[in-house]
Structure 1
Amino acid sequence: MSGEHTGAFTTDGRAQTVLDFVVGMSVFLVVVGFTFAFVPTLLEPYAVGDGATVIVAERGTAQLVESSLAGPGSTATLSPVCTHAFFNGTDGERAASEWDCNWESNAEELHVELGIDEFRGLNLTVTQSGVVGTVGEEDVRMHAGPTPSRSESVSAASRIVDINGETYRLTLRVW
């Protein structure tokens, strides 16, 4: 009986049923969906996003508090003379020679002092009880940079600092 077909069924070489097709397509769609959902997360660590501005804000704040404006003693204590000169627009060479300050560029050139590209927006504010603080006999406002953009994501880093025995909050905003 080889080669002959008996009975009511004939075969044409296909053994696919509707159930086989549904299972196959379901597996295919799950694999495609998983690929589209998973591959972007593989590439995410290499994309520049908001995380970069957080790092810039943290490092910039650390540099200002621990080095540029730091006074003698702890890193949370700012030198009143150097802080006044920084926000007053004093030349960096003069500040270094006269008062032994650690900054090269003043608040008007904040990008240069922190080593941050010009395409990033920077705003540095030192506040006391929510109000922009002043320093020195001339009451120089401790504020530098434009107001942060409302249309872009802004990252901020703050440090609590001491100037002449008074507590202030130094905040650097980056966008």
Structure 2
Amino acid sequence: MRGQTSIDFLVGMSVFLLTVAFVFATLPNTFAPFTGDDSSELLGTDRVASHLTEGTLAQQNRPGVLNGTCTEQFFGTSGACHPSNLNAALGVGANERVNVTIESSGAIRDIGGTQLSAGPTTPTNGSVVVASRLVSIDGEEYELYVRTW
């Protein structure tokens, strides 16, 4: 009977260590749904891009086809489509920064002398979430970019 003591100890410790390893391996996953990640920021940025291209700047019943006059006013300094507060107009929190541009071949475009860029300059370092949409203004194709950080 004494000869099995070391074998019993080895089996007992193996079962104990496997149980502890299993608990530590699965415990972080039980709390994963409750931790934040960048997907909420991506969804918010995507929602803003959709809001602009399908509603605020779009021609009625033509998503992706932007109204040139309203687009010029939105990015300009005055007009019915110009927001007094960009974050509030886009439904973004006050602590979040938003930059909206309409570009073609990597360059910011303009309509009637109004540069199609709104919001602060995008930072060169740090985490920036980007959503883009292909849009048309007066028959010309452009890319609308929404950047949040």
User: Could you state the TM-score of these two structures normalised by the residue count of structure 2?
Assistant: 0.88
User: Which residue, 102, 120, 123 being the options, matches 1:126?
Assistant: 102
Cα distance in 2 for residues equivalent to 1:27 and 1:89: 71
Q: Residue 121 of structure 2 aligns with which residue?
A: 147
Count of residue pairs the alignment pairs up: 149
The alpha-carbon deviation at position 46 of structure 1 amounts to: 1.9
The reply on whether 1:27 has 2:21 as its aligned counterpart is no
Cα distance in 2 for residues equivalent to 1:147 and 1:30: 53
The reply on whether 1:74 has 2:62 as its aligned counterpart is yes
Matched residue SS, 2:58: coil
Cα distance in 2 for residues equivalent to 1:16 and 1:43: 41
Structure number with higher strand proportion: 2
Unaligned stretches of 5+ residues in structure 2: none
Q: Residue 98 of structure 1 aligns with which residue?
A: none
Q: Residue 72 of structure 2 aligns with which residue?
A: 84
The reply on whether 1:60 has 2:28 as its aligned counterpart is no
Cα distance in 2 for residues equivalent to 1:150 and 1:32: 45
Unaligned stretches of 5+ residues in structure 1: 1-8, 96-100
Cα distance in 2 for residues equivalent to 1:165 and 1:150: 33
The alpha-carbon deviation at position 89 of structure 1 amounts to: 2.5
The alpha-carbon deviation at position 84 of structure 1 amounts to: 0.4
The alpha-carbon deviation at position 54 of structure 1 amounts to: 0.5
User: Could you state the TM-score of these two structures normalised by the residue count of structure 1?
Assistant: 0.76
The alpha-carbon deviation at position 66 of structure 1 amounts to: 0.6
